[in-house]
Amino acid sequence: MVLEGKAVFSTMLLLSLITLLALAVPYLSLDNGLVRTPPMGWMAWERYRCNIDCKKDPENCISEHLFKSMADRMAEDGWRELGYQYVSIDDCWSLKTRDSQGRLQADPERFPSGIKALADYVHSKGLKLGIYADLGNYTCGGYPGTTLDTISLDAATFAAWEVDMLKLDGCYSNSSVKAIGYQKMSSALNATGRPILYSCSWPAYEGGLPPQVNYTLLGEICNTWRNYGDVQDSWDSVLSIIEWYGKNQDVLQPAAGPGHWNDPDMLITGDFGLSFGQSKVQMAIWAILASPLFMSNDLRTISVNARDILQNRLLLYINQDSLGRQGKLIIEKKPLEVWRRELVKGQYAVAFMNKGTDGTPRDFPTCLSMLNITECATGYKVYDAFEKEFLGEMKLDTPIDVIVNPTGVVLLFIVPTC
Ligand code: GLA
């Protein structure tokens, strides 16, 4: 009798556990198999903002023409082959009202063919289409938001349009709505059956750090997340992002991995604000940080120099490393910083950044063991990633004198000889 009682009790326990799990699972897994390496592509916001005046500025306004033009460039100018895959719409694409069935609708003047036709076009170029929504009453630009009531409908609408990525922003809502909504959208996207990369701006609205931000949960429900302020077209802005990532790396670094990445925001190389050297810094640190690489620039007029940086194969190889381990700031010696990322097969990428603005290149005398690269006792082959140059085979104590320009970077790629 006693045994039977125990059995009944365990069965009940098991049943309630199963019920609990069944309730929990839809919220606790973004089961789309996407982005085993950080996503790459192009996104409209930083460069094109909410420019909706197509009469005055037909080439640069937020319209299907803009996205088709960028898709053309990505397909024809070598971007797609290098992995730049997503063409992503940001804010200001919709009408200010939903349609009679409550669905979001694209502005018919700027998107006369509709989003589904745009997705078809982008797909015909071998690329993927991203779209933007905002968990709140309005988008940041004042367009209709996605409220808790419309999450499923909006997910279904995006899937019906065959969209491949959703950036879900967080203006005009509070923390409790976000705590429910971001998980709910994750499940709603899963429920569509279409693999849709899910980029969550949630942490950026909660200060980016625990206890407000739960990175374990984020990794389970989102593919990428913005944790800090918007990138602007300036060195100050890029530097402030790098500094925030360095300062908070013990929290941020373990959160990243295959399928789920920290997103320090768009690449602004090719725009107006960065020097050639500063553009290299952004690209090098974004590679070390295993960041998504979404360019926001004009691919129709981009300079050869900017293209060289963004299409540097070794930089992209480092960014896309399959180990998926985010790098860290390992040495600070003002105004120099050393950032290091572990790669597959015992390889490393090390960025030496000079934050100084005094105009003088700085020396950083070092060697592999000082960079804590010691596993392969016979030494390593060392390459300069931007100069595309083989610097030689180095023993662990061979002196390496790195000279770094002001607001510039040197990126070494280091391969074991063992
Ligand atoms: C927020 C986001 C930006 C962009 C704008 C659009 O500021 O962080 O990336 O999407 O909204 O209004």
Model pLDDT for residues 388-407, shown as the tens digit of each residue: 999 999 999 999 999 999 99
Contact 290, 321 (CB under 8 A): yes
**Which of 43, 45, 92, 226 best tests ligand 1's pocket when mutated (most atoms within 8 Å of CB)?**
45
pLDDT of residue 30: 82
Hey, what amino acid is at 24?
A: A
Q: How far is the CA of 91 from the centre of ligand 1 (A)?
A: 7
With a cut of 80, say whether residue 149 has pLDDT above it. yes
Q: How far is the CA of 360 from the centre of ligand 1 (A)?
A: 36
Hey, what amino acid is at 334?
A: K
Quote the CA–CA distance of 217 and 198 in Å, as a whole number. Answer: 14
Model confidence band, residue 236 (pLDDT cutoffs 50, 70, 90): very high
Question: In the predicted model, what is the mean pLDDT of residues 184-195?
Answer: 98
Ligand 1 nearest-atom number relative to CA 140? 12
Q: What is the pLDDT of residues 28-74, one digit of tens each?
A: 568 899 999 999 999 999 999 999 999 999 999 999 999 999 999 99
pLDDT of residue 29: 64
Q: Which of 274, 316, 313 is nearest to 296 (CA)?
A: 274
Residue with tokens 């002196």: 399
CATH topology of domain 31-319: TIM Barrel (3.20.20)
Question: In the predicted model, what is the mean pLDDT of residues 237-243?
Answer: 98
* Annotation says 164 is catalytic: no
Q: How far is the CA of 136 from the centre of ligand 1 (A)?
A: 13
Question: In the predicted model, what is the mean pLDDT of residues 330-358?
Answer: 98
* Residues in contact with 13: Cβ distance below 8 Å, sequence separation at least 6, in sequence order: none
Q: How far is the CA of 231 from the centre of ligand 1 (A)?
A: 10
Question: In the predicted model, what is the mean pLDDT of residues 147-155?
Answer: 98
Strand 336-342 with 328-333, pairing: antiparallel
Catalytic: which of 31, 72, 77, 230?
230
Q: How far is the CA of 10 from the centre of ligand 1 (A)?
A: 51
User: Residue 264 has which token pair?
Assistant: 């320090």
Q: Which residues line ligand 1 (CB under 6 A)?
A: 45, 90-91, 139-141, 169, 201, 230
With a cut of 80, say whether residue 9 has pLDDT above it. no
Quote the CA–CA distance of 181 and 170 in Å, as a whole number. Answer: 10
In this structure, the residue with its CA closest to atom 6 of ligand 1 is: 91
* Annotation says 169 is catalytic: yes
Ligand 1 nearest-atom number relative to CA 204? 8
**Domain residue ranges in the chain:** 31-319, 328-416
With a cut of 50, say whether residue 331 has pLDDT above it. yes
Q: Which of 400, 345, 326, 348 is nearest to 370 (CA)?
A: 400
With a cut of 60, say whether residue 124 has pLDDT above it. yes
Beta pairing partners, 199:
167, 224
Q: How far is the CA of 167 from the centre of ligand 1 (A)?
A: 10
Phi then psi dihedrals of residue 25, to 5 deg: -55, -45
Ligand 1 nearest-atom number relative to CA 201? 8
Strand 389-394 with 293-295, pairing: unpaired
Q: Which of 322, 277, 323, 319 is nearest to 413 (CA)?
A: 319
Least confident of 8-12, 229-233, 250-254: 8-12
With a cut of 80, say whether residue 280 has pLDDT above it. yes
Quote the CA–CA distance of 308 and 310 in Å, as a whole number. Answer: 6
pTM for the predicted model, two decimal places: 0.93
**Which of 178, 230, 232 best tests ligand 1's pocket when mutated (most atoms within 8 Å of CB)?**
230
Superfamily of 328-416 according to CATH: Golgi alpha-mannosidase II (2.60.40.1180)
Model confidence band, residue 148 (pLDDT cutoffs 50, 70, 90): very high
Question: In the predicted model, what is the mean pLDDT of residues 282-297?
Answer: 99
Catalytic: which of 90, 134, 154, 169?
169
In this structure, the residue with its CA closest to atom 9 of ligand 1 is: 230
Ligand 1 nearest-atom number relative to CA 141? 12
In this structure, the residue with its CA closest to atom 3 of ligand 1 is: 230
